[in-house]
């Protein structure tokens, strides 16, 4: 099991009435299965996990497992309470997840000290039947990753790595240089995928891998092959699309970019708002530019 | 129904093993019933709602309703999705809540524009069988309250007011001056309770009303009676306790301060950490100082 | 010497070519002399002190002293280095300032610990021939005021008070409750002038006192007379103008609001941009509303 | 003239009484002259420019010019007013600076829109007798760099590049991909020097080049030679020293690290505080580790 390579945080398509569109989800999985991806993440931030109930979450894990029986399948299982995370982790593993990605709890941010987070992740890892990956995404949680925490947790036998989504390459560098090689750090911010690889990331769990997987995979392959010039060119070609998705339109924009690439983004779930028609005009050439880079 | 006066956001006591201690919760309700409070809030931030599952939430609402059949009972029902909030709102109303307090969704913070929040609160209010109060607490959500939103929502017949917990008195002033008198704004930050009353708050939903209810109620009564000198003296006496609870120890500190006042705070639920022994030594004189101010 | 009452932080009018317009400055002083103000501040943030050279600064102090020989005259003398602040403080006192207002140094923000600031203010006060007032304005400096610092500095015989411009009423409360009565705290944020007076502020050093001095003075007088209803009504009438000046247009807007009130705002100095024509249309009714409140 | 390579932002040594120690400054210049550096910056943030008066600033420029008549010499000349920056730029050029580095004005942060900054930099460049480099350092200014501004300014014939010190590699990438090749972007944050080079930086203006110039130059040379493995190893060896200097101790720590490397750091100027004795013990092995990496 390894985060090496590119993993899409799968989106969760909804119908216009807000119900889960499992068939669109399955169609996307089939379409993405042959694109050279290293694995698949369900129930991440881009999967709108925050707005799903438990039944829906487990249905998504089970569907992914059923369709892709031999591929690496990660599931996001972080809740606000330790017991809630443990319970969901066990159910997700039962439903077929190979490993779990556990978000930092963050509602009581000022109380989420390095000590509180350490005890939290250790308790979850102690109870988890599958490997645990740490997940930090300050843009959503408002919680910066504490210095030194990754290195402390890396000694736990069931904590296998981290998805670092802040986009702060110096943080990623410092984490990588503080942990043993078996602890893999994956970049969760496509704005810095190539620089993060240079800084020691094992791979990327990247939203745009849902819509332009070939380009993202090609970037990673170029890096692995030592072709820095090509890796940087693809990174540069991805930037406008990544900026539009990450900064301007969010998941709603990502879903429209998927439509353009022949997948089925579906609606977002309220209170998220669907992307305005203008977004389509803006996104179309950016998707094309990213695809042409390969 | 009115937020006028003082309302404690009831804590949720847990046993040492992290399970819900409903009997401690009920004991607290009985102890607080005769203290001149204007009503009670269950499932607020200080009630650790973020770490409760739905069954526990509804058990707390039902218990409070059963013990205090004729008192104002608010329940916090905000979830990350519109449909989730509506579902919980209906169940809480069925379980006996007179009104609901609805937190701003906040995980996808950059997408929670004024427009998205307006549509969210309107959809919840449209579907709610009981009055809806808006709830903004940027210290936990990382989401500032957008200018103009309260005034837009105040025209909805089922949106009755707002709990404003930022501590930004100028925001509270501006909200108060932008809404009709029927829309009540309650102060959710005890550091500024007296100044907020001066600025037009109808009352306060205040954590320290769990442990020193008499002092908080006396402050409000002094203000209503026009005795600004006494109101300000009580505010000043409350400050050190409020600072310690809000800034240094959080809910864990509040629970220990409740023990000192003869209530049953109980444990916090992990990943929150119980207050260190030193906290008790620090809190004891602050509770005493607050109580002596009356 | 006292900050009790209302003090305008005088604007510095410039000609269209960016040169200092001392005659406009003097005309404003004459116009403001009889409005019941408690004193005058030159070289504050609203006086664009950051963009003035030393010669200009001293010319402004000297002009104010000459025109208003018997009125309280404060001068802003904070520089980034201790020696620079001391040198300017001595020159401002020589030029006629009765006291100085000393901004927190802030360029090296992460190094400006409570200890560094304490030593800074003590060194300045030790060397100053006139009383020193502390000045904190995080909106410009990016530096929050450290807890406990005011109370430590209040024991210095030449440190007489503080201008607190964050708008955080709870901070002002805590400072007031931690210092002896001789140490006066003045509110520097008109969004919260009335709540700040309730919380113990001695008065206000407020930009809008440049353009609607009568209303601001009337608010203070109402408060002193115990007429909280009137004080709150005037505060509410001031809010839209204060918001427009503080949030939307800054000093450039304040200068146009002064023109409307018959004073001479003059141009701002680049890189500040003059207010767009639309600002005038927006400001005019807000100035009128504030004046009508009296 | 080019930012390609490594440029130290020279520290300004002071005597214990706070006066400028020009002989220590000159000794450092002589020691650094033969270390393969691409040029030298005086009056940067690490040169404590914020606390220097004009006479001192020009003395430093003149001394550097005199000692290094043929080497690239940059001078920091940003002031808060456009006219102030223009005046100092001309004097610095007269004193021998080959180019100037112009910091974003930042006191009136909310007014420093992209438009205000564009007009500012254009006015400075129009008036400057030498090439102008833009300088953004949000850790000190509190002002993020606006999207699109670099690309607009890159068309000015006298604006030659930018020092980007935020450490945000994605911003650097986006700037690089939006400007013509003649516009050079230099990395001003050693935490990300190697990733920034990968992302297209021309070189680095880096504090640690004052104390471990050989390691920083070797990192750049390895990158230029395509030896990414070596570049990354040196980056990793630099990290602990850079973290200690940038995060824990600032300029005061940098000066002590210079002493360890045989240079003359001197005292910092108040209100900055000299590094505590414990800092020396912490820094010594970090300097050694960085030097050993070469």
Answer whether A208's CB lies under 8 Å from A225's CB: no
- Cα C25 to Cα C14: distance, rounded to the nearest angstrom: 9
- Does B80 reach chain A within 8 Å, measured CB to CB? yes
pLDDT of A140: 98
Q: What is the mean pLDDT of residues B106-120?
A: 98
Of B57, B109, B163, B289, which one is the catalytic site residue? B163
Helices (H) and strands (E) in chain A, counts: 12, 8
Between chains, do A108 and B140 touch, taking CB under 8 Å as contact? yes
The neighbours of chain D, by the rule of 3 or more Cβ pairs under 8 Å, are A, C
Q: What is the mean pLDDT of residues B26-41?
A: 97
C-alpha separations of C173 from B52, B244, C103, C176, C229 in Å: 35, 15, 20, 5, 21
- Cα D45 to Cα D135: distance, rounded to the nearest angstrom: 10
pLDDT in tens, chain D (294 residues): 899 999 999 999 999 999 999 999 999 999 999 999 999 999 999 999 999 999 999 999 999 999 999 999 999 999 999 999 999 999 999 999 999 999 999 999 999 999 999 999 999 999 999 999 999 999 999 999 999 999 999 999 999 999 999 999 999 999 999 999 999 999 999 999 999 999 999 999 999 999 999 999 999 999 999 999 999 999 999 999 999 998 889 999 999 999 999 999 999 999 999 999 999 999 999 999 999 998
- Does C120 reach chain D within 8 Å, measured CB to CB? yes
Of A111, A112, A200, A192, nearest in space to A161 by CA: A200
Contacts of A291 (CB under 8 A, 6+ apart): A212, A214, A215, A261
Q: Do chains C and A touch (3 or more CB pairs under 8 A)?
A: no
pLDDT of D83: 98
pLDDT of C247: 83
pLDDT of B268: 98
pLDDT of C142: 98
Between chains, do D195 and A195 touch, taking CB under 8 Å as contact? yes
Between chains, do A81 and B123 touch, taking CB under 8 Å as contact? no
pLDDT of D285: 97
Furthest C-alpha separation in chain B: 49
- Does B111 reach chain A within 8 Å, measured CB to CB? yes
Q: Before C271, cis peptide (omega within 30)? A: yes
- Does B204 reach chain C within 8 Å, measured CB to CB? no
Give the tens place of pLDDT for each residue, C104-151.
Answer: 999 999 999 999 999 999 999 999 999 999 999 999 999 999 999 999
Catalogue the long-range contacts made by C276-281 (C-beta closer than 8 Å, 24 or more residues apart).
Answer: C279/C244, C279/C248, C279/C249, C279/C252, C279/C253, C280/C256
Between chains, do B173 and C167 touch, taking CB under 8 Å as contact? no
Between chains, do A142 and B142 touch, taking CB under 8 Å as contact? yes
Q: Are strands D203-205 and D5-7 parallel, antiparallel or unpaired?
A: parallel
Give the tens place of pLDDT for each residue, B138-151.
Answer: 999 999 999 999 99
Give the tens place of pLDDT for each residue, C42-80.
Answer: 999 999 999 999 999 999 999 999 999 999 999 999 999
Shortest distance, CA A36 to any CA of chain D (angstroms) = 25
In chain A, the residue whose alpha carbon lies closest to the alpha carbon of D237 is A177
- Does C153 reach chain D within 8 Å, measured CB to CB? no
- Does D270 reach chain C within 8 Å, measured CB to CB? yes
In chain C, the residue whose alpha carbon lies closest to the alpha carbon of D111 is C272
- Does A114 reach chain B within 8 Å, measured CB to CB? no
Q: What percent of chain C has pLDDT over 70?
A: 100
pLDDT of D19: 97
Q: Give contacts of D254 with chain C, Cβ < 8 Å.
A: none
Between chains, do A270 and B123 touch, taking CB under 8 Å as contact? yes
Give the tens place of pLDDT for each residue, B180-197.
Answer: 999 999 999 999 999 999
Provide the β-strand partners of residue A102: A134
- Does D43 reach chain A within 8 Å, measured CB to CB? no
What is the four-CA torsion angle of A242, A246, A249, A255, rounded to 10 degrees? 70
Of C109, C163, C255, C289, which one is the catalytic site residue? C163
Between chains, do B115 and A270 touch, taking CB under 8 Å as contact? no
pLDDT of A247: 83
Of B166, B260, B176, D118, nearest in space to C235 by CA: B176
Between chains, do B192 and C170 touch, taking CB under 8 Å as contact? yes
- Cα B91 to Cα C165: distance, rounded to the nearest angstrom: 46
Q: Give contacts of A272 with chain B, Cβ < 8 Å.
A: 108, 111, 116
Q: Do chains B and C touch (3 or more CB pairs under 8 A)?
A: yes
Write b or e for each residue in B1-31: b if 16 or more Cβ atoms lie within 10 A of its Cβ, otherwise e: eebbbbbbbbbbbbeeeeebbeebbbbbbeb
pLDDT of D248: 86
The neighbours of chain A, by the rule of 3 or more Cβ pairs under 8 Å, are B, D
Answer whether B163's CB lies under 8 Å from B186's CB: yes
Q: Is C179 helix (H, G, I), strand (E, B) or coil?
A: coil
The answer, yes or no, to whether residue C1 has pLDDT greater than 90, is no
Note whether ipTM > 0.95 here: yes
In chain D, the residue whose alpha carbon lies closest to the alpha carbon of C46 is D108
Q: Do chains B and A touch (3 or more CB pairs under 8 A)?
A: yes
Provide the β-strand partners of residue A203: A5, A186
Q: For B228, which of C167, C196, C228 is closest by C-beta distance? A: C228
pLDDT of A120: 98
What is the four-CA torsion angle of B193, B199, B201, B202, rounded to 10 degrees? 110
pLDDT band at A248 (very low <50, low <70, confident <90, very high): confident
Q: Which strand (E) or helix (H) includes residue B25?
A: helix B22-32
Q: For A169, which of D195, D226, D243 is closest by C-beta distance? A: D195
Shortest distance, CA A108 to any CA of chain B (angstroms) = 6
Shortest distance, CA C113 to any CA of chain D (angstroms) = 9
Q: Give contacts of C173 with chain B, Cβ < 8 Å.
A: 191-192, 195, 235-236, 239
Question: D163 catalytic, yes or no?
Answer: yes
- Does B15 reach chain A within 8 Å, measured CB to CB? no
- For chains B and C, count residue pairs whose Cβ atoms are closer than 8 Å: 71
Running DSSP on this structure, what letter comes out for residue A247? I
- Does C18 reach chain D within 8 Å, measured CB to CB? yes
Top residue of B164, B170, B176 to mutate, by most chain C CBs within 10 Å, is B170
Give the tens place of pLDDT for each residue, B210-221.
Answer: 999 999 999 999
Between chains, do D167 and A167 touch, taking CB under 8 Å as contact? no
In chain D, the residue whose alpha carbon lies closest to the alpha carbon of A229 is D198
In chain A, the residue whose alpha carbon lies closest to the alpha carbon of D199 is A195
Between chains, do C198 and B195 touch, taking CB under 8 Å as contact? yes
Write b or e for each residue in A208-218: b if 16 or more Cβ atoms lie within 10 A of its Cβ, otherwise e: bbbbbbbbbbb
- For chains C and D, count residue pairs whose Cβ atoms are closer than 8 Å: 109
Instruction: Classify residue A37 as left (phi > 0), alpha (psi -120 to 50) or beta.
Output: beta
Instruction: Classify residue B226 as left (phi > 0), alpha (psi -120 to 50) or beta.
Output: left
- Cα A108 to Cα A121: distance, rounded to the nearest angstrom: 16
In chain B, the residue whose alpha carbon lies closest to the alpha carbon of C147 is B243
Q: What percent of chain B has pLDDT over 90?
A: 98
pLDDT band at B157 (very low <50, low <70, confident <90, very high): very high
- Does A166 reach chain D within 8 Å, measured CB to CB? no
- Does A51 reach chain B within 8 Å, measured CB to CB? yes
What is the four-CA torsion angle of D47, C145, A142, A247, rounded to 10 degrees? -60
Q: For D169, which of A174, A195, A226 is closest by C-beta distance? A: A195
Between chains, do A269 and B116 touch, taking CB under 8 Å as contact? no
Helices (H) and strands (E) in chain C, counts: 12, 8
- Does A127 reach chain B within 8 Å, measured CB to CB? no
Between chains, do A271 and B81 touch, taking CB under 8 Å as contact? yes
Between chains, do B51 and A269 touch, taking CB under 8 Å as contact? no
Between chains, do C271 and D120 touch, taking CB under 8 Å as contact? yes
The neighbours of chain B, by the rule of 3 or more Cβ pairs under 8 Å, are A, C
- Does D17 reach chain C within 8 Å, measured CB to CB? no
Q: For C273, which of D80, D115, D272 is closest by C-beta distance? A: D115
Give the tens place of pLDDT for each residue, B241-270.
Answer: 999 998 889 999 999 999 999 999 999 999
Taking the complete model, does pTM exceed 0.80, yes or no?
yes
pLDDT of D55: 98
Answer whether C199's CB lies under 8 Å from C173's CB: yes
The CA angle D172-D174-D175, to the nearest 5 degrees, is: 65
């Amino acid at each position: 099991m390894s985060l090496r390579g590119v993993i899409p945080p799968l989106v969760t398509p909804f119908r216009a009435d807000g119900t889960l569109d499992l068939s669109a989800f399955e169609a996307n999985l089939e379409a993405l299965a042959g694109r050279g991806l290293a694995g698949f993440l369900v129930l991440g931030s881009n999967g709108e996990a925050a707005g799903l109930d438990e039944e829906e979450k487990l249905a998504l894990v089970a569907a992914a497992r059923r369709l892709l029986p031999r591929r690496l399948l990660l599931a996001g299982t972080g809740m606000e309470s330790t017991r809630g995370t443990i319970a969901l982790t066990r159910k997700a593993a039962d439903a077929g997840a190979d490993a779990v990605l556990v978000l930092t709890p963050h509602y009581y941010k000022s109380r989420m000290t390095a000590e509180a987070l350490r005890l939290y992740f250790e308790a979850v890892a102690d109870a988890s039947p599958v490997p645990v990956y740490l997940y930090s995404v300050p843009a959503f949680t408002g919680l910066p990753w504490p210095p030194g925490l990754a290195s402390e947790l890396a000694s736990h036998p069931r904590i296998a790595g981290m998805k670092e989504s802040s986009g702060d390459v110096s943080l990623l560098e410092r984490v990588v240089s503080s942990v043993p090689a078996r602890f893999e750090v994956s970049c969760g911010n496509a704005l810095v995928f190539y620089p993060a690889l240079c800084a020691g990331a094992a791979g990327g769990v990247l939203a745009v891998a849902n819509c332009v997987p070939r380009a993202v995979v090609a970037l990673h392959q170029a890096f692995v092959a030592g072709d820095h010039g090509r890796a940087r060119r693809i990174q540069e070609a991805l930037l406008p699309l990544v900026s539009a998705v990450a900064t301007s339109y969010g998941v709603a924009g990502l879903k429209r970019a998927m439509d353009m690439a022949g997948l089925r983004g579906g609606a977002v779930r309220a209170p998220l708002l669907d992307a305005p028609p203008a977004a389509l005009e803006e996104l179309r050439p950016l998707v094309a530019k990213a695809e042409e880079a390969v």
